[in-house]
């Protein structure tokens, strides 16, 4: 149990030290389960490149603000030092920081919302993990997903936070599956499926992210590549919406499922590989289902489909090797 | 904890043996909690009769495919042999198999979806039961309900799976409560309330199902009959939508609640009978509520209202006799 | 575990005695966590005053019916005598009784629904608390919220229960943030934020409620006042919908969060005060988010935002003093 100590100096003292910078970089890396400062650094490079390339540099600065705020909140609340050191406070916050400027207009109230929401993720993560520990699973990026849903839905009823980048709420979806299927285009979609993990729409950023994964864990890099390709294949043959597919929006959740099942929560072996492949396929259906579910609200799913699909494949606690499975923690398995 | 063993031959060896056929038949029977091959056989007869009578024979073949796939998945994953022997892998799959051809157009991708979804139910059942065991309840048919919601919502954004049989998403409901109230019509509605448990709209099938229940457990047959009649009475006096009432769509969830509370999870006695009657009445409101909730999505509730209402009446763990209640398992109480 | 005994005379005997009247009054008080008959009495006075002042006296009589029915149900089911004595059966029922006549037309079926729904809250409370005890939290007013959602959604598909007072389901919200900001108006909004806890739109009732709190627990009164003011400030600077703000609809959930976190579940001290202030701010966003979420359904949130926000701030189980936190029970902390 955490000892929250709002006035404690114990961890606040380390603020603005090199240790704190390491916590931030590991926090960036942990978005894809990588406890490695170089991976985190390369992720940030990819975010900055992609954000400025798509003409929305504020997304990158939002990422920094969210990463800092959520990590800082963990220090202020004097929560488990082990979690902090391994970057587990920052990964939800950095995603909040990417999401807000992507979908919401840049007013002072949007930035206040971004900061409140990033703080909230650190609180929610502890609460959600308390519940889920009994089921031997982890809250993954759900603190980011849940608290962002709260603020994005709230923004619809607050003129202070313009929802100009969010989809218009609607009922029936007339969509076209037509899409350019040249080899070059397919490679672009495939790379964007990876870059969209951080809500970035850029193939170059996808390459950055693959390199960042490769630096720390080659299996993770391989599964990210496989998952983006397989999810692209599945959504193409089932004829999903062309525009979304071209932006990699059916890839990012599957990429996270692939990394999580294939290289983090299970030991790599042929049977877990089959399990992971099925998990990736199901993630595509969960992604489409949640897109459909949220259309009347015009709300993004964020990485919700990844959380749901990965939980579904961890909850049965199947034993694929000799160890009794416990999926409530991953960061101690450093690579 | 299950030992998932994707390459195991231990249970696969029994495939296509008489034992496997028994597992399938018990799987059909377990949709209404009946661990009996003759009940299962009569259910299948009712499904085939009704499906061809309403001119959609594919529904019956879908039922067989779903039943086979979900049971087969349990064998491949080498899950608890006890569950398999008692038909607990098949009952979700057969419902998936009834649901897909009823609402979705028959393309090759629909059938791939049906197979994936049936497989998924077997995985989800283990996961959901792991969570719910702590609350001493069972996941009932919720694995079917949840995974079908995923695939049906996803189908809205996939041209590969035509949603031609699903309702058009809509907001305000102008409906008429007018309905033929002759005695003969009421009997038809009453029987359809029972046949709709397997999504079949046929009074003859309702008779098949009553007979099937009677073969194994007379109390179950009686509660199915009472529940369909009582739910019909409640929705008529509260003036629900006439067309849906006439098709038995306010009956099937109540029928399952009646069987579950009245003859499976509690011992039959006057006090549990009162409890069951209240449970049936509440199921009608939960059914109407979920119909209303899903109108903007045009999504069927499936047997979701039964699951919700039955959980609500099991969760308090009231003691109606000398035993400490545990509702997480039913199949060991063979009749 | 409760021993439900549908025919027991043990607690029914006390019916219509002075003890039963005390149970009812404590039940009214427990809506705001006050285990005190005078607080309950003043709440009822405030309800009667406000209901008749806004020309809907049936709301007050509904409150009495709901309070009686839910408490009576606890006696009939012979549930934990300790809960009954402390008014824990009635606080959900009285809210059901306020909600039905406020939003639904007064037909005989509406009143049957009100009675069924009040009974259901007592059953649900036991079930929900069974689940949540493992997480060391309490179901709060969620039994009222959940069962009322069921009946209100169901009413949309039942002509027997007219939904004339509910909002029309809609998608995009064009709203104006313009609102009279004179000091006198702000005081009115502030008091209505408190009266709306019982769905009453009257500043005088707000004063009654503050006095009622003050009689039993001055910290609760103080936090109610602070929470209504702070939530008003937050929703005004974020420019929410003017009409709703003027009716106190962004205040009532925050008031309950403030009382719960600030004066009931945590000991009063500077650090828990900061925690409570943050909790109040987040409640405003949860309130706006749930309003937005329910617009396609035209469904009121009731006190759902209070439950969600308070759970989020209790679940991390932060230790703000020397005791290991357990938030599953509050009524033993009598004041």
Q: CA–CA separation, B55 vs A280, rounded Å?
A: 37
C314-324 pLDDT, tens per residue? Answer: 999 998 877 77
pLDDT surpasses 50 at B2:
no
- Closest-CA residue of chain B to A274: B6
- Closest-CA residue of chain A to B147: A286
- Closest-CA residue of chain C to B289: C154
Instruction: Name B230's Cβ contacts closer than 8 Å, sequence gap at least 6.
Output: B254, B258, B277, B280, B281
- Closest-CA residue of chain B to C116: B282
The pair of three-digit structure tokens given for residue C73, joined into one six-digit string: 């149900």
To which CATH superfamily is domain B3-331 assigned?
A: Ammonium transporter AmtB like domains (1.10.3430.10)
Q: Which of B193, B224, B200, B198 is nearest to B210 (CA)?
A: B224
**How big, in percent rounded to 5, are the helix, strand and coil portions of chain A?**
65, 0, 35
| Residue C331 confidence class, pLDDT cut points 50, 70, 90 | low
Chain B nearest C-alpha distance from A224 (Å): 22
Using CB atoms, list chains with 3+ pairs below 8 Å to chain B.
A, C
Residue B327 C-alpha from the chain's centroid: 18
| Residues in B 180-209 with any Cβ partner in A closer than 8 A | none
Answer whether C126 sits within 8 Å of B316, measured CB to CB: yes
Does residue A178 belong to the interface with chain B, where contact is any CB pair within 8 Å?
no
Does residue C6 belong to the interface with chain A, where contact is any CB pair within 8 Å?
no
pLDDT surpasses 80 at A334:
no
User: What sign does the dihedral B162-B89-B74-B42 (CA atoms) show?
Assistant: negative
pLDDT surpasses 70 at C332:
no
The pLDDT, as a whole number, for residue C27 is 97
Q: Is the distance from CB of B190 to CB of B251 less than 8 angstroms?
A: yes
B273-287 pLDDT, tens per residue? Answer: 999 999 999 999 999
pLDDT surpasses 70 at A269:
yes
DSSP state of B325: P
Q: Is A277 helix (H, G, I), strand (E, B) or coil?
A: helix
- Closest-CA residue of chain C to A148: C289
Instruction: Name A55's Cβ contacts closer than 8 Å, sequence gap at least 6.
Output: none
Residues present in chain A in total: 335
A145-164 pLDDT, tens per residue? Answer: 999 999 999 999 999 999 99
Chain C residues with CB inside 8 Å of B171's CB? 169-171, 296
User: What sign does the dihedral A159-A164-A165-A169 (CA atoms) show?
Assistant: positive
Task: Please give the mean pLDDT across all residues of chain B.
Answer: 93
Q: Which of C298, C303, C301, C302 is nearest to C157 (CA)?
A: C298
> CA A181, A187, A188, A192: dihedral to nearest 10 degrees?
120
Residues present in chain C in total: 335
Instruction: Name A218's Cβ contacts closer than 8 Å, sequence gap at least 6.
Output: none
Mutation choice for C interface testing from B233, B288, B309, B311 by most C CBs within 10 A: B288
Residue of B171, B172, B239 with shortest CB distance to C159? B239
ipTM: 0.94
DSSP codes joined into one string, B130-184: HHHHTTT---TTHHHHHHHHHHHHHHTT-TTS--TTSPPP-SS----------HH
Chain A residues with CB inside 8 Å of C171's CB? 169-171, 296
B38-82 pLDDT, tens per residue? Answer: 999 999 999 999 999 999 999 999 999 999 999 999 999 988 888
B203-223 pLDDT, tens per residue? Answer: 999 999 999 999 999 999 999
Instruction: Name A146's Cβ contacts closer than 8 Å, sequence gap at least 6.
Output: A124, A128
**Cα separations (Å) of B295 from A73, B153, C148, C156, C231?**
41, 13, 19, 11, 33
What number is the average pLDDT over the span C85-110?
97
Mutation choice for B interface testing from C113, C150, C167, C300 by most B CBs within 10 A: C150
What number is the average pLDDT over the span C253-273?
96
Q: CA–CA separation, B176 vs B179, rounded Å?
A: 8
Does residue A91 belong to the interface with chain B, where contact is any CB pair within 8 Å?
no
Q: CA–CA separation, B1 vs A319, rounded Å?
A: 8
A172-231 pLDDT, tens per residue? Answer: 668 999 999 999 999 999 999 999 999 999 999 999 999 999 999 999 999 999 999 999
Residue of C291, C312, C325 with shortest CB distance to A157? C291
Bin A315: left if φ > 0, else alpha if -120 < ψ < 50, else beta: alpha
The pLDDT, as a whole number, for residue B78 is 82
Does residue B149 belong to the interface with chain A, where contact is any CB pair within 8 Å?
yes
Does residue B293 belong to the interface with chain A, where contact is any CB pair within 8 Å?
no
Chain C nearest C-alpha distance from A11 (Å): 16
Q: CA–CA separation, B92 vs B307, rounded Å?
A: 13
Q: Is the distance from CB of C65 to CB of C103 less than 8 angstroms?
A: no
In chain B, where are the structural domains located?
A: 3-331
Residue of B2, B130, B157 with shortest CB distance to A173? B157
Q: CA–CA separation, C295 vs B98, rounded Å?
A: 33
Chain A residues with CB inside 8 Å of B120's CB? 282, 312
CA angle B328, B129, A133 (to 5 degrees): 115
Q: Which of B226, B193, B217 is nearest to B207 (CA)?
A: B193
Answer whether C128 sits within 8 Å of B274, measured CB to CB: no
**Cα separations (Å) of A128 from A85, A111, A131, C197, C318?**
20, 25, 5, 28, 13
What number is the average pLDDT over the span C62-83?
93
The pLDDT, as a whole number, for residue A52 is 97
**Cα separations (Å) of B187 from B181, B226, B234?**
10, 12, 15
- Closest-CA residue of chain A to C273: A6
| Residue C28 confidence class, pLDDT cut points 50, 70, 90 | very high
The pLDDT, as a whole number, for residue B224 is 98
The pair of three-digit structure tokens given for residue A198, joined into one six-digit string: 């951080």
Instruction: Name B264's Cβ contacts closer than 8 Å, sequence gap at least 6.
Output: B33, B220, B330, B333
The pLDDT, as a whole number, for residue A307 is 98
Does residue C77 belong to the interface with chain B, where contact is any CB pair within 8 Å?
yes
| Helix-helix angle B90-103:B142-155, to 10 degrees | 30
User: What sign does the dihedral C189-C193-C198-C203 (CA atoms) show?
Assistant: negative
């Amino acid at each position: 149990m955490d000892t929250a100590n709002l006035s404690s100096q114990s961890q606040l003292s380390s603020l603005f030290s090199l240790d704190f910078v390491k916590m931030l970089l590991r926090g960036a890396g942990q978005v894809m389960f990588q406890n490695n400062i170089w991976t985190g650094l390369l992720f940030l490079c990819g975010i900055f490149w992609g954000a400025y390339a798509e003409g929305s540099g504020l997304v990158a600065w939002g990422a920094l603000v969210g990463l800092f705020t959520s990590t800082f909140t963990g220090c202020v609340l004097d929560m488990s030092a082990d979690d902090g050191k391994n970057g587990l406070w920052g990964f939800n916050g950095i995603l909040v920081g990417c999401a807000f400027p992507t979908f919401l207009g840049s007013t002072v109230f949007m930035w206040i919302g971004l900061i409140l929401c990033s703080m909230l993720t650190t609180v929610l993560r502890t609460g959600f993990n308390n519940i889920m520990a009994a089921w031997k699973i982890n809250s993954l990026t759900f603190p980011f997903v849940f608290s962002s849903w709260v603020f994005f839905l709230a923004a619809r009823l607050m003129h202070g936070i313009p929802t100009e980048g969010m989809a218009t709420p609607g009922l029936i979806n007339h969509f076209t599956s037509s899409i350019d299927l040249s080899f070059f285009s397919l490679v672009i979609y495939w790379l964007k499926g990876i870059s969209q993990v951080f809500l970035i729409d850029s193939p170059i950023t996808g390459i950055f992210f693959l390199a960042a994964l490769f630096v720390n864990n080659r299996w993770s890099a391989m599964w990210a590549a496989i998952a983006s390709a397989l999810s692209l294949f599945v959504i193409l043959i089932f004829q999903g919406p062309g525009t979304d597919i071209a932006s990699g929006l059916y890839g990012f959740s599957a990429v996270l499922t692939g990394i999580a099942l294939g290289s983090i929560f299970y030991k790599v072996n042929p049977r877990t590989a089959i399990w992971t492949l099925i998990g990736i396929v199901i993630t595509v259906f969960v992604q489409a289902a949640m897109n459909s579910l949220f259309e009347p609200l015009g709300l993004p799913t964020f990485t919700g489909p990844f959380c749901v699909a990965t939980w579904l494949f961890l909850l049965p606690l199947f034993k694929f090797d000799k160890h009794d499975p416990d999926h409530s923690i991953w960061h101690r398995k450093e690579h």
